[in-house]
Structures are given as C-alpha cells and as structure tokens.
Amino acid sequence: MTENYFEVLRPGINTTFQDNGRKNFYHIGIPFSGAMDNRNFVIANAISNNKKNSPVIEFALQGPKLRYKGDKVYFNVTGDVNFQILRKNKIEEGVCYQNLVLENDDCIDIISTNRSVYGYLSINASFKINFYLDSCSVNTKAGIGANNGKILQKNQIIKIENITKKYSLNKLDYINSKIENIRVIKGPHFDYFSKTAKELFFKEKFSITKLTDRMGIRLDGPKIENIKYTNIKSEGLVKGTIQITADGDPIVMLSDHGTIGGYPKIGVVISADYDKLVQIPPGSKIKFKEINLKDAETIFKLYEMETQNLISKTK
C-alpha cells in the first residue's frame, strides 16, 4: 500500500482544518470554532460524498499550494475561489463545486478568493489528523485541534487515508450571492446608547477593517455614543454578537471569539446571515438592518431549506 499525502508548498495566509466545531465548552473558555461559512462547508462534503461533519481544509484570502503524492483521489473546492491544478504537461483552471481528479505529483494552487474571504477544500478520503474535545477544528489561540492547533506550515505533510474508490461526478451550479445588508436583533444593552447613536447604527454604513480574523470583525464608521456604561461586568458572548467598545466602534464576534466580554451588546447578527457576513472582505461596507426574533426564525428555516436543496442538487 502506498502512502498518500499532500506536501505543503505554500501554506496560505490562514489555512486550518475545520469541521462543524465543538460544543459544550463555552463555560471553560472554548468557543465553537468550526468552518466559518457553514453552507460552503456542508456543500464541500456533499460533493465529496463524505459524512456531513467531515474535516475540510479552510483557507482565507490566499489559499495553500499543495503537491499530491499517492493513488488517484478526487477533491473539490467551494466558495468563490480562483485556483489551478498543475498537472504533468498542463495547467488546468479550477472550477469550484465539482469533483476533480488528482493524480500522483499533481499540484493544487489556490491562488485567491474572489471578493470574498473563505473557501474550502474537501477530498473523497480522510485527512489523518488529531481531534480534540470531539472536533478537529483548529483554534490557534488555545492551540487546540488538528495539526497541534496550528495553521498549515510550509513543507509539512498532510497524510491522507481511506480513499473512497467509488466516485461520482458530483457538481453544483451555485453562485455565492453577495450582500451588503446584515440583519440584526437588538441586544440586551441596546438602550445604553443615545437616541442618535441607535439611529446611526441602523442607518449608516460601516467598513470592515483589516483587524478582522476568525475571532472577530472590527468595524469603522460613525461613533456609537454610549450614555450609560461603556463597560459591563463581563458576561458570556455568542457568535454574531456586536459589542460597542469604549471608543464607540462596533466589533462583531466570530467563530473563534473570546467566550466572555465586558463591552455592551448592541445587537446580534441573525444566524441566517452569518455565512454571508464572514465572507465580506476587509475594505467593504455593510449596513445593519433591524429585525425581530420571529422573522429571524422564519428566515433561518428558509436558509436551511435552501442549503438542503443545494445539497440534494449535488447528487
């Protein structure tokens, strides 16, 4: 039996193993983590005929360049991604959302994501990686998850096992829609802010700054004036929570966020808009739109139906 593996020729900016994250550890300071864009994560596994929660390689902005060694394997890339497959005698332009073959010595070069942040690489096999607290998801801050809790490193080897012999040309025609409006439910400290600030929050645009990663997004825009307390006694956070710092800037908590925080919560991004929010690249502008809980729940059902629909279309 030959050994199958990827050799990391270029790791990319922030390339990590992810699945759907770990539950039940917020109380000891460990957030969910997991794939940032859940829809593109589940589609990647569906195209590979993998189990729903199988580990994938997540990359951000610039992805990895990987050389493959071993028996024939299939892979797919999801997201809005510009990539190439470097074969023996030719360079092939990559197409997202379909299984592509990889033979010994072929390279995958994930050049960049297009006007988006995250993309996913899945194979119809499994990565030989370690799990921590029931998940492979890498949380670099706590140093936990696959790859000893680290991002991919140059020249490292990623071992591959259990290549599925059965192959089907799964593909999906899907275009990631881009949005500017992010829907938000008011938070428990909404009334800590002045009347003007509350109006500005839902009226003006905010820019996504470069201080943005898997932990959170720092926004730049009109200052949100606090008229009560700029600090609260630290309390739990959830992903999508928008806190206003003492300087009046909004910060949005993302999948690797600190589990507790001491800034007032002006609102929380609805679950259905999370995947789209994380895909908006630094430099873009967003606008918050107020929505109530009931509507958010209905929209989430639609979001789930749509995801399910996309999964069934891959077969």
Partner 1 sequence: MIKNISNLGDAALYCDFGNDVNREINLNVIQFFKNIKKSNIPGITNITPSYNKLIISFDLSITNFNKIKTEVEKLNFKNEIINEGNLIKIPVCCDNDFALDIKRLEKLLNLEKEEIYKKFFSKKYYCYMTGFIAGMPFLGDLDGSLYARRLDTPRVKVPKNSIGITEQFCNIYTFESPGGWNIIGKTPLDIFDNKNNTSPNLINPGDTISFFQISKLEFEKKYD
**How much is the CA Rg of the chain, to the nearest whole Å?**
20
The pairing of strands 181-186 and 265-269 is antiparallel
| Residue 197 interacts with partner 1 (CB under 8 A): yes or no | no
Interacting residue with partner 1 among 12, 34, 55, 240 (CB under 8 A): 240
| Residue 246 interacts with partner 1 (CB under 8 A): yes or no | no
CB 201 within 8 A of CB 224: yes
| Residue 270 interacts with partner 1 (CB under 8 A): yes or no | yes
| Residue 234 interacts with partner 1 (CB under 8 A): yes or no | yes
Query: Which region among 21-29, 43-51, 56-64, 279-287 touches partner 1 (by CB under 8 A)?
Result: 21-29
| Residue 25 interacts with partner 1 (CB under 8 A): yes or no | yes
| Residue 127 interacts with partner 1 (CB under 8 A): yes or no | no
The SS3 of residue 293 is helix
Token duo for residue 238: 């959830």
| Residue 132 interacts with partner 1 (CB under 8 A): yes or no | yes
CB 71 within 8 A of CB 163: yes
The length of the chain in residues reads 315
Interacting residue with partner 1 among 10, 13, 26, 128 (CB under 8 A): 26
**Least CB distance from residue 25 to partner 1, whole Å?**
7
Q: Residue 294 contacts by C-beta under 8 Å, 6 or more apart in sequence?
A: none
Interacting residue with partner 1 among 53, 82, 98, 149 (CB under 8 A): 149
φ/ψ of 29, rounded to 5, equals: 95, 15
| Residue 32 interacts with partner 1 (CB under 8 A): yes or no | yes
Q: Give, in degrees to the nearest 5, the angle at Cα 17 between 210 and 153.
A: 75
The pairing of strands 181-186 and 285-290 is parallel
Token duo for residue 125: 């096999």
| Residue 300 interacts with partner 1 (CB under 8 A): yes or no | yes
Query: Which region among 55-63, 114-122, 150-158, 181-189 touches partner 1 (by CB under 8 A)?
Result: 181-189
Query: Which region among 45-53, 76-84, 194-202, 294-302 touches partner 1 (by CB under 8 A)?
Result: 294-302
Token duo for residue 177: 């829609």
Positions in the binding site for partner 1 (CB under 8 A): 23-30, 32, 132-133, 139, 141-144, 149, 185, 187-188, 233-238, 240-241, 258-261, 265, 268-271, 293, 296-297, 300, 304
